[in-house]
């Protein structure tokens, strides 16, 4: 009885961490998208994730925690590659597509990809999960339709850059799923959230610096205030909370909880005067919200 109660407490703590991370991430996405339309999208990733990594590295110094490199280097390498796909694809997509649509494509495809990976690994999957995953996929198709028919919140012309933006969103969705899986693997080997966050962005930092080495320092000096604010409130804290959610919840629930991000993003982005109301996008994110709430109750009932 006590064990069951403790499990429920950690489960709810994980859900709370995931939802709080989603809210903070939504605010940062809208603000960031407004700032980077005219600059290299990798400028922010290099600076922001470097600061984040340094912070968590300082945090774990002196903790005397064992990394168990003999069993953890492979999932760590895969996590770094997955993080490159997830974040660099995401920030690139934000340059060409409205934030709510980028979030919808990234988060909405996650649950289905989780199930497909489970099928490949010959793991059993409940019918309820299939229903939710297919529902989120339909919501994503609706959102993609808003982009390709010119009915999204941003008045954009259909061109190759829009196509690349959609592809980048889908790639970052795959990266997000893989990040969840490999973060979970590191957690099972004894890595804490801070240990993981201090090492998972090495690949992003290196690639970002390679692409923007001649721009990064002047850009940092001119934009230091908002970069620090967004890094702390929109990257560092949300990533820590997300890592906690991954630690306490199953991968499927983690990906479904992330479906709240485009919902929050959609309403927050209405504060941006560049964006207009889009009924098609609204219907898409509303479906994601419905299936996201449903998944939380379904996963809780299972336990």
pLDDT at 75 > cutoff 60: yes
Residue 124 phi, psi (nearest 5)? -75, 140
* Mean pLDDT on 231-253: 82
Alpha-carbon span 110 to 116, nearest angstrom: 10
In this structure, of 10-24, 198-212, 231-245, 287-301, the range with the lowest mean pLDDT score is 287-301
Is the model more confident about 50 or about 88?
50
pLDDT at 74 > cutoff 90: yes
Contact call for residues 282 and 211 (beta carbons, < 8 A): no
Contact call for residues 198 and 60 (beta carbons, < 8 A): yes
DSSP for 110-161, written as a single string: HHHHHHHHHHHTT----HHHHHHHHHHHHHHHHHHHHHHTT-SSS----SHH
pLDDT tier for residue 282 given thresholds of 50, 70 and 90:
confident
DSSP-assigned letter for residue 259:
T
pLDDT tier for residue 174 given thresholds of 50, 70 and 90:
confident
* Mean pLDDT on 200-227: 87
Average pLDDT, the chain: 79
Alpha-carbon span 214 to 131, nearest angstrom: 49
Sign of CA dihedral 104, 110, 112, 113: positive
Could you report the per-residue pLDDT of 185-196, keeping only the tens digit for each? 998 888 888 899
Task: Compute how many other C-beta atoms are within 10 angstroms of the C-beta atom of residue 267.
Answer: 13
Contact call for residues 41 and 91 (beta carbons, < 8 A): yes
Measured CA angle at 89 (ends 88, 92), to 5 deg: 85
Helix (H/G/I), strand (E/B), else coil: 47: helix
- For the record, the structure tokens of 205 come out as 């930092």
* Mean pLDDT on 20-43: 74
DSSP-assigned letter for residue 198:
H
pLDDT at 81 > cutoff 90: yes
pLDDT at 5 > cutoff 50: yes
DSSP-assigned letter for residue 270:
G
Task: Compute how many other C-beta atoms are within 10 angstroms of the C-beta atom of residue 131.
Answer: 14
Contact call for residues 58 and 223 (beta carbons, < 8 A): no
pLDDT at 54: 92
pLDDT at 242 > cutoff 90: no
pLDDT at 40 > cutoff 80: no
For the chain, give percent helix, strand, coil, nearest 5. Answer: 80, 0, 20
pLDDT at 53: 92
pLDDT tier for residue 1 given thresholds of 50, 70 and 90:
very low
pLDDT at 77: 95
* Mean pLDDT on 71-98: 87
Distances (CA, A) of 184 to 180, 226, 248: 6, 32, 9
pLDDT at 57 > cutoff 80: yes
Percent of the chain scoring above 90 in pLDDT: 10
Is the model more confident about 151 or about 4?
151
Alpha-carbon span 159 to 129, nearest angstrom: 35
């Amino acid at each position: 009885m006590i064990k069951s109660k403790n499990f429920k407490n950690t489960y709810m703590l994980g859900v709370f961490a995931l939802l709080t991370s989603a809210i903070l991430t939504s605010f940062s996405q809208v603000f960031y998208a407004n700032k980077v339309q005219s600059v290299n999208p990798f400028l922010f990733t290099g600076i922001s994730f470097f600061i984040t990594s340094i912070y968590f590295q300082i945090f774990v110094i002196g903790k005397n925690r064992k990394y168990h490199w003999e069993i953890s280097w492979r999932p760590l390498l895969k996590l770094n590659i997955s993080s490159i796909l997830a974040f660099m694809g995401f920030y690139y997509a934000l340059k060409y597509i409205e934030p709510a649509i980028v979030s919808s494509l990234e988060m909405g495809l996650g649950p289905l990809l989780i199930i497909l990976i489970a099928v490949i690994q010959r793991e059993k999957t409940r019918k309820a999960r299939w229903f939710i995953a297919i529902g989120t996929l339909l919501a994503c198709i609706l959102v993609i339709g808003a982009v390709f028919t010119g009915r999204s919140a941003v008045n954009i012309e259909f061109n190759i850059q829009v196509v690349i933006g959609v592809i980048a969103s889908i790639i970052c969705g795959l990266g997000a799923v893989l990040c969840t899986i490999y973060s979970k693997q590191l957690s099972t080997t004894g890595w804490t959230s801070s240990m993981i966050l201090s090492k998972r962005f090495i690949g992003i930092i290196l690639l970002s610096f390679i692409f923007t080495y001649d721009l990064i320092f002047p850009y940092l000096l001119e934009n230091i205030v908002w970069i620090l604010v967004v890094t702390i409130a929109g990257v560092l804290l949300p990533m820590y909370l997300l890592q906690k959610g991954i630690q306490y919840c199953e991968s499927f629930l983690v990906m479904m909880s992330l479906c709240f991000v485009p919902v929050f993003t959609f309403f927050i982005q209405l504060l941006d005067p560049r964006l207009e109301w889009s009924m098609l996008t609204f219907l898409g994110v509303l479906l994601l919200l419905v299936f996201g709430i449903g998944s939380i109750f379904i996963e809780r009932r299972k336990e």
